[in-house]
Structure 1
Amino acid sequence: MREPVDRRHQRILAAVQSRGTARVRDLAAELQVSVVTLRRDVEELAREGRLRRGHGVVHSTLPAQELPGSGTAGPDGDMVAVVVPELHSYLYETLHGARTVLEAAGLRIALRIAPQVAGAERPLVERALADGARGLLLAPRWRTPAVEEADYGWLAALQVPAVLMERRPPAGSALHALDSVCSDHWYGAHLAVEHLVGLGHRRIVFATRDDSPTARNLRASFTRIATEHPLVEEWAWALSSPDAGKDGPYAAHETADVPTLLRKLGATAAVLHGDVDALMAAQRLAENGVRVPEDCSVVAYDDVLAGLGTIPLTAVAPPKTEVGRVAAELLLHRLAGGHGTGSPTVRRVELLPSLTVRGSTGEPITPQR
């Protein structure tokens, strides 16, 4: 299925605006389109004034104070910082939800992109605070629990309002009382399992990542739901790709080869986190003569790209944009009410994902035994 042009343009704008400047070839690789297509799209967006072209690069048209690392608060202190990981399209959608609310409130945004190394967020936050940021929206990468715990101390000591997006430290931790907005990923896992069980599937393969709090939450949720569900006869779990958790405790665990796991378990369905891993799994199934959905139903988790496959994938969609919007509203509430003694009650918000049914799921026709 060919991706709609307007959707592709939105992805290009999100990628460029999140970092200020991007190389054309890097963007093409990241967005999984040809360089020729990317250049054609960039030319059209440039004609519309939404991007600026350079020699092999693309520049955002956002004002300088809104670009990564260049935010400078005015004398009225009207800036907040947003810190998200690089190359994370899921959280970029969350960012755009937050941006709408913050800009409507007259606040400028200093976007900081954290590289894929442990501890990358702290210096970015310190720089933003030195530049005058009044508040923070944060989505630390936290590849492992140990990396997460290492950040608790300095985050708890922040002297400005802060809200976590898609991150919720465990009860009793130093960050337990920090404002946060998350998707209810247990409910998302529940939607996927109930959809498949309702179609008649009784043996299911689960393949998740293990390199973020969301991934670890999903793995635990699928394990609990599948174990307790009276209609799930057999299930298996594996890492969804070789790089899905290379720094975590499951690094040596089997990486999901879906056709092999299906045969081993006699399964007729698979749920994979996230979209790229699910799309690649569907391709491998086809290469191995396994028909989707006749021989195997496939559900993706994230729904950023799931609908763009040759067979559009049924997918669980966390409310990405809404998470950002609500997090920004919490931050505004905190800024209006002060910080520290007498400040507004701490809030922990959970938003429910939804399920979009497409062509990759159906009743089991030829169970694999």
Structure 2
Amino acid sequence: MREPVELRRQRILAAVESRGSARVADLAAELQVSVVTVRRDVEELAQEGRLRRGHGVVRSPLAAQDLPAARAPAPDGEVVAVVVPERHTYLYESLHGARSVLEAAGRRIALHIAPQVTGAERPLVERALADGAAGLLLAPRWRTRADEEGDYGWLALLDVPAVLMERRPRPGSALHAMDSVCSDHAHGVHLAVQHLVGLGHRRIVFATRDDSPTARTLRSACARIADAHPLVERWAWALCAPEAGHDGPYTAQETAELPALLREVGATAAVLHGDVDALMLVQRLADSGVRVPEDCSVVAYDDVVAGLGTPPLTAVAPPKADVGRAAAELLLQRLAAPRGGGGPVRRIELLPALSVRGSTRACAGAADRPE
């Protein structure tokens, strides 16, 4: 799916604001779009007063050269490098949360966007350290378990404080003793299931992606919670998009078209990770004459754009910005402590919340069903 224009421009703004200035060619390479596209975006942003243009260079309106000396950028030893995957709106909210904490502490952010290829984070981290970064906030893409474990060795050898955002390494691994701040996604699934069961739904389809640690955590939580719930009669899991199944051995049911799977299971509700896939399911159901929420309730997981749908989607909202803030606060504690100090390793979990909107309602006949 092509990235929305406004999202791409927000990424340009984030990159320029974190660095003070950036070359147009570098932005095009990071965003994997043409230089012409970036120039067009920059022109629009400049007209809105959100950027300043130069010859091949883009500057923030608050660039260092336009500020009083007291607000000059921090020296290299005060720089924190942040590495996040490209085209990941969820983690960009975490980035902005971290930025608010770091800037208040006088730290400058060096933002690095990792392209969608295996192993992209390591050279970015090495570059950041060579440029003098004192600490790191990291959210590796880790599309597969093998990708994740392949990064354990070099991450465990980092000689500066580092905190993982929304990533929790496997227990007992070389990276187990690394600070991390995550959303408690199992609690998020629990909220979704309890909401639907409370509305009388007894048959539920869950769908997640196959390309992120969050998706893998959600899949495991869906199975555990649905299996254990005494009121869930039947459930099934599938990929949000059947074409995504090229990365693993999946059954025919797990790669089935979701409207067909809902019919097969007799499901009256679905929980999808994330918002865009949930919005598209609502459209696909409408095309086949299934109304949301009258015939099928839908819960999205992420709550980035879920509220913009028709109807607005009920959604589980992980505390995205708070994850970034907590990770930045933990990193600042490590940076302030003597080398090797700062107390025990911390694995912090923050609880998601449920926003109930127009895409869920009581299941037909639920009032007459015995509990």
Corresponding residue number in structure 2 for 1:70: none
- In 1, Cα distance between the equivalents of 2:221 and 2:114? 28
Alpha-carbon distance, 1:78 to partner = 1.2
Alignment of 1:61-100 (within 5 A): 61=60, 75=75, 77-100=77-100
- In 2, Cα distance between the equivalents of 1:262 and 1:337? 54
Corresponding residue number in structure 2 for 1:14: 10
- Contact kept? 1:294, 1:366, Cα under 8 Å: no
- In 2, Cα distance between the equivalents of 1:244 and 1:58? 38
SS at match of 2:246: coil
Query: Cα gap change, 1:282/1:167 in structure 2, threshold over 3 Å: closer, same or farther?
Result: same
- Contact kept? 2:49, 2:61, Cα under 8 Å: no
Corresponding residue number in structure 2 for 1:69: none
Deviations 1:50-85 (A, max 9, x none): 234699x995626679xxxxxxx8656110100000
- In 2, Cα distance between the equivalents of 1:292 and 1:229? 24
Alignment of 1:230-245 (within 5 A): 230-242=230-242, 244=244
Alpha-carbon distance, 1:153 to partner = 0.5
- In 2, Cα distance between the equivalents of 1:86 and 1:288? 34
Alignment of 1:1-369 (within 5 A): 11=7, 14-20=10-16, 43=44, 46-52=46-52, 59=58, 61=60, 75=75, 77-242=77-242, 244=244, 246-250=246-250, 254-340=254-340, 342-365=341-364
- In 2, Cα distance between the equivalents of 1:364 and 1:205? 15
- In 2, Cα distance between the equivalents of 1:244 and 1:94? 26
SS at match of 2:187: helix
Which amino acid letter does the alignment assign opposite residue 221 of structure 1?
A
Give the stretch that moved more between structures: 186-195 or 168-177: 168-177
Query: Cα gap change, 1:94/1:268 in structure 2, threshold over 3 Å: closer, same or farther?
Result: same
Alpha-carbon distance, 1:17 to partner = 2.3
- Contact kept? 1:98, 1:325, Cα under 8 Å: yes
| Structure 2: gaps (5+ residues) | 17-23, 65-72, 367-371
Alpha-carbon distance, 1:194 to partner = 0.4
Which amino acid letter does the alignment assign opposite residue 345 of structure 1?
P
Corresponding residue number in structure 2 for 1:31: none
- In 1, Cα distance between the equivalents of 2:57 and 2:284? 34
Query: Cα gap change, 1:91/1:244 in structure 2, threshold over 3 Å: closer, same or farther?
Result: farther
Give the stretch that moved more between structures: 240-249 or 211-220: 240-249
Query: Cα gap change, 1:126/1:284 in structure 2, threshold over 3 Å: closer, same or farther?
Result: same
Alpha-carbon distance, 1:19 to partner = 3.9
Query: Cα gap change, 1:228/1:164 in structure 2, threshold over 3 Å: closer, same or farther?
Result: same
- In 2, Cα distance between the equivalents of 1:208 and 1:247? 14
Give the stretch that moved more between structures: 237-246 or 92-101: 237-246
SS at match of 2:192: helix
Alpha-carbon distance, 1:148 to partner = 0.3
Query: Cα gap change, 1:243/1:159 in structure 2, threshold over 3 Å: closer, same or farther?
Result: farther
Alpha-carbon distance, 1:49 to partner = 2.2
- In 1, Cα distance between the equivalents of 2:221 and 2:8? 33
Q: Percent identity?
A: 71
- Contact kept? 1:211, 1:245, Cα under 8 Å: no
SS at match of 1:186: helix
Deviations 1:249-283 (A, max 9, x none): 54976335222111101110000011111111110
Structure whose residues are more often helix by fraction:
2
Deviations 1:178-232 (A, max 9, x none): 0000000000000000000000000001111121111000000000000010000
Alpha-carbon distance, 1:309 to partner = 1.2
Alpha-carbon distance, 1:308 to partner = 1.0
- In 2, Cα distance between the equivalents of 1:93 and 1:316? 15
Which amino acid letter does the alignment assign opposite residue 12 of structure 2?
V
- Contact kept? 2:42, 2:53, Cα under 8 Å: no
- In 2, Cα distance between the equivalents of 1:119 and 1:84? 13
| Structure 1: gaps (5+ residues) | 1-7, 29-34, 66-72
Alpha-carbon distance, 1:343 to partner = 3.9
**Number of residue pairs matched?**
339
- Contact kept? 1:50, 1:61, Cα under 8 Å: yes
Alpha-carbon distance, 1:42 to partner = 7.3
Alpha-carbon distance, 1:99 to partner = 0.4
Alpha-carbon distance, 1:170 to partner = 1.7
Give the stretch that moved more between structures: 14-23 or 348-357: 14-23
- In 2, Cα distance between the equivalents of 1:225 and 1:79? 42
Query: Cα gap change, 1:27/1:174 in structure 2, threshold over 3 Å: closer, same or farther?
Result: closer
